[in-house]
Amino acid sequence: MDAACAIEVRDLSVRFGGGAAASVLAVDNASFTIVPGEFVSLVGPSGCGKTTILNLLTGLLAETPEGEARVLGKAPRPGNPDIAYMLARDSLMPWRTALGNAVYGLEVRNVAKAERKARARALLARVGLGTFSDKYPKALSHGMRQRCALARTFVLDSPVFLMDEPFGALDAQTKLQLEDVLMDLWSADRKTVVFVTHDLAEAVALSDRVIVMSARPGRILADVPIDLPRPRSIRALQNDPRFHTLYGRLWGLLEQGMAGHVH
């Protein structure tokens, strides 16, 4: 496999449910590569296997897939220090303060206490929660909790970020704000990101490339480069005609995928 790739997925098929007759094909022969520093979104209708691919890369998938997947040249496994994983819901631990949540990953990775606190505080300040570090999640709004979850993910400083619909549960306004926060964090040192979403606008606004998947069984329909200039302001993009052209194109591709499934 190519060592220059951050992520390499080749001829990947994932089948759920073991037995041949009752099993469901979730991912069908998917192949793609991602180079270091690239921000790539996986989009597709729900159930298209995008989260399955992410879980596979994180090492959380119980099923044994066909084909191959590599993260920085290594087979996926849980606890891979090269990966920072961000879940769909904020899933902050309510018994920990914002700071306590932000240090959690470093705690598991046995980073010294003083260092992990300093790093977490710095990240909380960058996501705009500097003055809320001693607050418990119950005292934070949805947007603030997701900011905290971003801090918890980026504090790990891993070369690869895998994000599973991190802003899926937010209202439109808050979502745009959080996307800008994510762009700020990412632009600072441009790590590799695989971003799963069903929101096409989000995918276009954030990514260097968008991989469009079909409805189940998930096949890759298209791999679309997003040539919008960086640095981007997500809110400014909302009025940019190029943004809407790309959005329209992707929407067309996604519609084809859905239609193929229904008929």
Partner 1 sequence: MSISTLVSIKGAPASSRHRRGAPDHEPAGSRRSHARIRSHALRAVPVWLRHALFIAALIGVWELAASQGLLDPAFFGRPSGIAAYLWKGFVTDGTLWRGYTLAGAVIAFVGGSVCAVATGLLFMVFPGFHRASEPYLTLLNAMPRIALAPLFLLWFGLGIGSKVAVGFSLTFFIVLSATVAGIRSVNSDHLVLPKALGATPRQVFTKVTLPSAVPVIFSGFRLGLIFALLGVVGAELIAAEHGLGQTLAYLQSTFSMDGVMGLLFLLAFLGLGITSLMNRLERALLDWQ
Kindly tell me which residue out of 1, 11, 17, 78 binds partner 1, with binding defined by CB under 8 A.
78
Measured from the CB atom, the residue of 144 and 206 that comes closer to partner 1 is: 144
* Choices 4-12, 116-124, 139-147, 180-188 (CB under 8 A): range interacting with partner 1: 139-147
Q: Which is nearer to partner 1, 156 or 226 (CB)?
A: 156
Q: In the complex with partner 1, which residue's Cβ is closer, 147 or 232?
A: 147
Smallest distance from partner 1 to CB 64, Å = 17
Tokens of 125: 């300040």
Nearer to partner 1, 85 or 186 (CB): 85
Neighbour count for residue 67 (Cβ, 10 Å): 15
- The residue (of 78 and 260) whose beta carbon lies closer to partner 1 is 78
Instruction: Give the residues across from 222 on adjacent strands.
Output: 212
Residue 175: phi, psi to the nearest 5?
Answer: -60, -45
Our CB check for partner 1 shows the closer of 138 and 263 to be 138
Binding track, positions 85-104, relative to partner 1; x by CB under 8 A: x-x-x-x-xxxxx------x
CA nearest 57: which of 157, 152, 158, 146? 158
Q: Contact with partner 1 (CB under 8 A): which of 83, 98, 102, 155? A: 83
Enumerate residues 35-74 that contact partner 1 by CB under 8 A.
Answer: 58-60
Whether 214 contacts 257, CB under 8 Å? yes
- The number of residues that bind partner 1 (CB under 8 A) is 33
Residue 156's contacts (CB-CB under 8 Å, 6 or more residues apart) are: 84, 105, 106, 109
CA dist., res. 119 & res. 188, Å (int): 15
DSSP 14-43: EEESSSTTT-EEEEEEEEEEE-TT-EEEEE
By CB under 8 A, what part of segment 190-229 binds partner 1? none
Strands 24-34 and 39-43: unpaired
Please report, as ranges, the residues that interact with partner 1 according to CB under 8 A. Answer: 58-60, 77-81, 83, 85, 87, 89, 91, 93-97, 104-105, 107-109, 132, 135-141, 143-144
